[in-house]
Chain A
Amino acid sequence: MTNPVIENIRRSLGGQRPPYNPRRGLGPRPAIYESRRPESVDSEIEQFLDEVRKLSGVAEKLSADSVSDALKALVAKNGIRKATLWHTPLFEQLGIENTLRSLAVDIISPNADKHEMAHCDLGITEAEYILPETGTLVLASSAEKPRAVSLLPRLHLAIVRPEMLRPDLHQVFAEHIGRGEASLRPYTPDYLVFITGPSRTADIELTVTLGVHGPKNLHVWIMVKNLTVAFD
């Protein structure tokens, strides 16, 4: 089948072109892609928390046994009545759903209808990766990890682990497209989203306003094994 757009591109670029070569004009692959070398996990955690805070997010370091108390405080402070969360082994293990129920919070399925989910006060997700340089959460998508949970509720809480730290975008992308069915590789999952701070705009007189269409608040808890050591 002829494609007039492609035909015209070829006509314009001319018949004298050398045959396609994926590296033509690019030279050897520059080392710059992997130039960011983190000092330590602790420094990466600190930088990540710091960047999230700079973006008006709330970022904390928590141990597993303090999660219940932290949830209790979050629910009380933000008037949370309805929540939705991803179905993940980590959340089971932390007993998030049970804690919320004990706080009289209504739990909505993450696969609920969009109209229902739009009324949630809180959406809880994990992340696939986190990027300390920019304070970015990288979220995948599946039936257990629906994308609307980080979008529709007015408050987004992400519970992440130091194992998710990656030094740079480059590592994230390399791992991301390496996934999926081998026969179709490179064949990416259908959706990925980077979240860097809460939804924002400066469209009216350049006044920064949070919570335009996405969540108005972003909270990030990073789970560390031994809180006292990490705090030193």
Chain B
Amino acid sequence: MSETPTYIGFEAYTGHIPPSIPSAVQQATARFAVGRAARVSELPQFEQLRQIASDIRLHTIENMDTYLLRFEEKVTAAGGHVHWAATAEDARQIVLQIAREHNVKLAVKSKSMATEEIGLNHALETAGIEALETDLGEYIIQLAGTGPSHIIVPAIHLKKEEIAAIFSEKLGIDAPADPIELTRIAREILREKFLNAEMGVSGANFLIAETGTLVMVTNEGNGRMCTTMPDLHVAVVGIDKIIPDWESLTVFLKLLARSATGQKLSTYTQFITGPRRAEGEFGPKEFHIVLLDNGRSDVLKDPIGREVFKCIRCGACANVCPVYKNVGGFAYGWFISGPIGAIFAPQMLGTPTARELPYASTLCGACADVCPVKIPIPTILRHLRRRVAEGDQIAASTMPAPIAAAAKLSALALAQNWIYRFGARILPPVMALFTRDSWISSAPYPLNRWTKSRPLLAFTAGFRSWWKNRNAK
């Protein structure tokens, strides 16, 4: 999962989804969607907040250079170190270099999408450094050796019995199939690791340009442990996480937990500005932040597509998506899944790699209705479908030739009245060749892909002639 995919076969994957995935995913999504609705109904200004949040995000995207430079200046003034990583490889090398300089043997990690994106765990382990996930869900899937199936509850696809079996096998203990007991076991094991790790690695939910502050939102407390216990804290954060000031942050914090889990606020929200300053206080002596580009600055070229960077990673869009609820997070093939993944991956990885994802949607619009920052996801999906089919200034068409030709042909037919009329006239006799009892149960290739799953009712008359006769009555 941490490796950058070369092709995401969404459709092929959906052909063999284990039935346990949709059932587990739907339990989680239903719980979060209901919780979200309850919190939203309590807050009369919610719609107003969404609009303000959207405006702030757009403003920030359009002035990203200004805010990032201000952030760098403030972090440096606070005694922290800022590193710029143009690519994933740059980011890995920066983190490895810091780890080597400090002779790190064990790194504790709090859940971070950016480190998933750059495959940091693998890079650290190759360099002989143990990289341990400490969010309970992430810890479980790290032991299991799989990827996350949901952005908030990454191990939702695993039953407690399966988790107990994984614990028993990997940790060499006798673990019971009880969530409370399994949590206690993880707490004990990980607490030792927190206390002995030389480096804490985290992501961030927001970066405040005004003061050079990193904001982290967690529920379990592992985020606090990773950034309080080791003497060295390294954060890897996408440049899209920047926000102008603390005033903007009030808006995002009011929206984030409510939209994600249906909490008013998550348990722990931390605000970290540089390394610790007081003698005798806990917290890292050294603070590094790696600002990750990895293609984001290219996405900024596209004024429609770049609205994806308004995202605050709440997962609300996935929780209401009829497609996600049936395929789960693995189908999207990268670390961000659901509707937001379907517009994120094709832009970050390119349409040749992720050309199926813009089609992984019914365009029902539920995602846009719940998005706390008003990302027009269906609009961007259609925009990216056009890119896949026809190509645009950003990328050339990546449609397979026969489908592209068929699409061109139908566009022509729909645009020229006489072709359309001619087609409508010859279609019934052509269809009649394949019709048995007014149904077509097996059409010739390549149309048989449709009739394999359901028969097609043959046309008996053209719409125009039917309409004319109907009016004549």
Q: Which residues of A contact B (CB under 8 A)?
A: 3-6, 8-13, 17, 20, 22, 24-27, 29-30, 32-33, 35, 51, 55, 111, 114-115, 118, 133-136, 141-143, 146-148, 151, 168-170, 173-174, 176-177, 184, 186-207, 209, 211-215
Does B229 sit at the interface, judged by CB under 8 A?
A: yes
Specify the chain B residue showing the minimal Cβ separation from A20: B66
Give the docked Cα–Cα distance between A23 and B27 (Å): 42
Provide the residues of chain A in CB contact with B398, threshold 8 Å. none
Give the docked Cα–Cα distance between A135 and B56 (Å): 27
Provide the residues of chain B in CB contact with A176, threshold 8 Å. 246
CB distance from B55 to the nearest CB of A (A): 5
Known contacts A190-B276, A204-B140; A199/B221 CB under 8 A: yes
Provide the residues of chain A in CB contact with B225, threshold 8 Å. 151, 213-214
Specify the chain B residue showing the minimal Cβ separation from A115: B195
Instruction: State which of A4, A114, A209 has its C-beta within 8 Å of the C-beta of B282.
Output: A114
Q: Which of B291-299, B331-339, B353-361, B374-382 forms contacts with chain A?
A: B291-299
Known contacts A26-B56, A196-B265, A206-B153; A5/B213 CB under 8 A: no
**Nearest 6 pairs between A and B by C-beta?**
A214-B221, A203-B137, A12-B300, A213-B221, A212-B220, A207-B179
Q: Are B213 and A188 in contact (CB under 8 A)?
A: yes
Give the docked Cα–Cα distance between A200 and B282 (Å): 23
Specify the chain B residue showing the minimal Cβ separation from A34: B250
Q: Are A204 and B247 in contact (CB under 8 A)?
A: no
Instruction: State which of A17, A191, A204 has its C-beta within 8 Å of the C-beta of B160.
Output: A204
Provide the residues of chain B in CB contact with A195, threshold 8 Å. 267-268
CB distance from B102 to the nearest CB of A (A): 17
Q: Are B211 and A204 in contact (CB under 8 A)?
A: no
Interface of A is mostly: loop
Specify the chain B residue showing the minimal Cβ separation from A14: B301
Known contacts A8-B297, A193-B271; A206/B28 CB under 8 A: yes
Instruction: State which of A111, A174, A200 has its C-beta within 8 Å of the C-beta of B220.
Output: A200
Give the docked Cα–Cα distance between A55 and B268 (Å): 13
Q: Are B136 and A25 in contact (CB under 8 A)?
A: no
Q: Which of B9-17, B186-194, B428-436 forms contacts with chain A?
A: B186-194
Give the docked Cα–Cα distance between A35 and B225 (Å): 35
Known contacts A188-B211, A204-B136, A204-B163; A147/B68 CB under 8 A: no
Known contacts A5-B86, A9-B297; A200/B250 CB under 8 A: no
Q: A134-B265, A142-B281 are in contact. List 20 more A-B contacts (CB 8 A).
A: A5-B239, A8-B86, A9-B239, A24-B63, A30-B52, A118-B191, A147-B228, A148-B229, A189-B277, A193-B269, A194-B268, A194-B269, A202-B153, A203-B136, A203-B140, A203-B155, A204-B140, A205-B160, A212-B136, A213-B187
Provide the residues of chain B in CB contact with A146, threshold 8 Å. 280-282
CB distance from A142 to the nearest CB of B (A): 5
CB distance from A197 to the nearest CB of B (A): 5
Q: Are B283 and A190 in contact (CB under 8 A)?
A: yes
Give the docked Cα–Cα distance between A203 and B221 (Å): 13
Provide the residues of chain B in CB contact with A33, threshold 8 Å. 247, 250-251
Q: Are A213 and B190 in contact (CB under 8 A)?
A: yes
Specify the chain B residue showing the minimal Cβ separation from A30: B52
Give the docked Cα–Cα distance between A16 and B254 (Å): 34
Number of interface residues of B (CB under 8 A): 95
CB distance from A216 to the nearest CB of B (A): 9
Provide the residues of chain A in CB contact with B153, threshold 8 Å. 202-203, 206
Provide the residues of chain A in CB contact with B275, threshold 8 Å. 190
CB distance from B472 to the nearest CB of A (A): 57
Give the docked Cα–Cα distance between A205 and B221 (Å): 19
Q: Are A200 and B219 in contact (CB under 8 A)?
A: yes
Does B307 sit at the interface, judged by CB under 8 A?
A: no
Listed A/B pairs (29) with beta-carbon separation below 8 Å: A9-B65, A11-B297, A13-B62, A24-B63, A25-B55, A27-B55, A32-B45, A55-B267, A111-B280, A143-B279, A143-B281, A147-B282, A147-B283, A173-B249, A173-B250, A188-B211, A188-B213, A191-B272, A191-B276, A194-B265, A195-B267, A196-B266, A196-B267, A200-B267, A201-B183, A203-B220, A204-B179, A205-B159, A213-B222
CB distance from B162 to the nearest CB of A (A): 10
Provide the residues of chain A in CB contact with B163, threshold 8 Å. 204
Give the docked Cα–Cα distance between A134 and B250 (Å): 13
Q: Are A209 and B250 in contact (CB under 8 A)?
A: no
Q: Are A170 and B64 in contact (CB under 8 A)?
A: no
Q: Are B278 and A212 in contact (CB under 8 A)?
A: no
Give the docked Cα–Cα distance between A84 and B224 (Å): 18
Provide the residues of chain B in CB contact with A111, threshold 8 Å. 280-281
Q: Are B228 and A190 in contact (CB under 8 A)?
A: no
Q: Are B280 and A143 in contact (CB under 8 A)?
A: yes
CB distance from B353 to the nearest CB of A (A): 20
Q: Are A193 and B298 in contact (CB under 8 A)?
A: no
